[in-house]
Amino acid sequence: MPYTYEHPHPAVTVDVAVFTVSDGRLAVVLIRRAEWPHAGKWAIPGGFVGIDESLKRAAWRELREETGIKAGVLEQLGAFGRPDRDPRERVITVVYISLAAADRLRLEAGSDASDARLFYIDDLPELAFDHSRILEHAIERLRDRIDTEAVARQLMPARFTLTDLQRACEAVSGDTIDKRNFRKKLKTLDLVEPTGGETQSGAHRPAKLYRVKS
Amino acid sequence: MPYTYEHPHPAVTVDVAVFTVSDGRLAVVLIRRAEWPHAGKWAIPGGFVGIDESLKRAAWRELREETGIKAGVLEQLGAFGRPDRDPRERVITVVYISLAAADRLRLEAGSDASDARLFYIDDLPELAFDHSRILEHAIERLRDRIDTEAVARQLMPARFTLTDLQRACEAVSGDTIDKRNFRKKLKTLDLVEPTGGETQSGAHRPAKLYRVKS
DNA sequence: GCAAAAGTGTTTGAGGTACACCCATGC
DNA sequence: GCATGGGTGTACCTCAAACACTTTTGC
């Protein structure tokens, strides 16, 4: 036990809530814990911060190790540190939020997790630690702060239809949006441009494909 | 050196940025550091988190110990943890923001601080650690999130004039506000009520005194 | 009477919301 | 030809911003 201090030190972890839109519903990446405590329960991916590692870098590394995801933008949600949140020792966790396009998620369970998969946020399993509370905060923050541009840039695949984009915005906000109003606003935002392509449609008119500008 | 761990642990501190409006300008409470590192420099009050103490409780305690202030609402700004931000050891700090009415601030320098006083936020001294960066974030957050109700409830004395309240809102937002628009909005907010009293004015019409409702 | 701050409404523009029909395709 | 989703414009309402004069007091 080589690490000694004059005063007691808490452990510090980082956790990352990765949100995506799958099948028109807002979803989050969870891992199944392989070890005590809460073995078998689902949890937000995360782990201990290296002693010479920045918080954000630790978040990126842990997410990659446990799920195979290489995160894009990581936004800090905050620190959660109630004294009894982990039975092993005092643990303070710094939580990040990230967004990922569904087509870029190839989940691979890593060393500390026996499984990694998506859950719809309105159909979550029982979670380890205080991760239910943390996810509530994360979803609230997401709904408060995210805008159409963030959805288009971070949650959509390279090419998408305007209806796809609208569905993603609706999934994130949890509310329905009027189609004409949505497209009117997109025009003023100057955010997307047509690629020229179209969906090979089903039994209906094909939709134009768009990409995010610049 | 009784506290030993299997893996290295960072230290965790809390810091509290207390904002107030003084003389019509936004100001923050700083303490002068008495000891190494950065002895003699000014810093946001704060200190180490007790091993069985919640983050918010630690923030409240440290603020009280170092300045005598009993904080009201404490809102978490976030965690700051760059590996080199403290020369003693790896320190991760969780920063809180609080607001205080100027008339409730009776600053008393505490044990860890040789001095405590207000600084206008547009006239700050050189700060210890990364506290300049932290304060920038805190001010940005304050300006983004605070509304008239928070100003009225947390930054004003028990009785105040509408012009006082407007000046406080202007100081926080850093912008001027139209008097008639401000008062019109106050009516719709249903936030303040007259106390019946008036200022004993100088060489001009006296102003009615108000208090926050309910 | 004059200086100094208090108090008081209307007009305008922007942005958000509500709302209904025709279009292109597969079957 | 019909079912299915794609695509398009107008009217209204709400809210924020601009803007000027009268009132009350001390001197």
| Residue B112 pLDDT level (bands cut at 50, 70, 90) | low
Residue in chain A lying closest to B91 (CA): A51
User: What is the distance between the alpha carbons of residues B128 and A162, in angstroms, rounded to a whole number?
Assistant: 50
Cβ-defined contact of B83 to A6 (cutoff 8 Å): no
All protein residues with a CB under 7 A from any atom of strand D: A 161-163, 178-181, 183-184, 201-208; B 178-181, 184-185, 201-206
What CATH number should be reported for the domain holding residue A187?
1.10.10.10
End-of-domain residue from the set B145, B168, B191: B145
* pLDDT score of B114 more than 90: no
- Residues in B touching A10 (Cβ below 8 Å): 9, 12, 49, 51
Same domain, A132 and A159: no
* pLDDT score of A109 more than 80: no
- Residues in A touching B1 (Cβ below 8 Å): 4-6
Q: Kind and range of the H or E element at A180?
A: helix A179-189
Contacts 24+ apart (CB under 8 A), B129-134: B129/B37, B129/B38, B129/B43, B129/B85, B129/B86, B130/B80, B130/B82, B130/B85, B131/B15, B131/B43, B131/B44, B133/B80, B134/B15, B134/B17, B134/B44, B134/B77, B134/B80, B134/B93, B134/B95
Q: What is the pTM of this model?
A: 0.95
Looking at residues B94-104, what average pLDDT do you find?
96
Same domain, A24 and A95: yes
* pLDDT score of B50 more than 90: yes
* pLDDT attached to residue A113: 53
| Residue A153 pLDDT level (bands cut at 50, 70, 90) | very high
B122 CA from D19 C1′ (Å) = 31
Same domain, B119 and B32: yes
Same domain, B48 and B98: yes
Listed residue (A45, A155, A33, A124) closest to A87, CA to CA: A33
pLDDT single digits (tens) A157-206: 999 999 999 999 999 999 999 999 999 999 999 999 999 999 998 899 99
* pLDDT attached to residue B33: 94
**Parent domain of B164:** 148-212
pLDDT single digits (tens) B154-212: 999 999 999 999 999 999 999 999 999 999 999 999 999 999 999 988 899 999 999 99
Same domain, A27 and A124: yes
Whether B107 is in a domain gets the answer: yes
Option in B10, B54, B82 nearest A12 (CB): B10
pLDDT single digits (tens) A81-98: 999 999 999 999 999 999
Residues 6+ apart with CB under 8 A from A151: A99, A165, A168, A169, A172
Whether B33 is in a domain gets the answer: yes
Whether B197 is in a domain gets the answer: yes
What is the number of structural domains in chain B? 2
Same domain, A54 and A34: yes
Same domain, B57 and B28: yes
- Residues in B touching A94 (Cβ below 8 Å): 79, 81, 92
Same domain, A75 and A136: yes
Cβ-defined contact of B76 to A81 (cutoff 8 Å): no
User: What is the distance between the alpha carbons of residues B127 and B119, in angstroms, rounded to a whole number?
Assistant: 12
Confirm whether any atom of chain C, the nucleic acid strand, is less than 7 Å from CB of B185.
no
Mutate to test the interface with B, among A14, A55, A82, A93 (most CBs of B within 10 A): A55
- Residues in A touching B88 (Cβ below 8 Å): none
Whole-angstrom Cα Rg for chain A: 19
Listed residue (A116, A107, A90, A97) closest to B50, CA to CA: A90
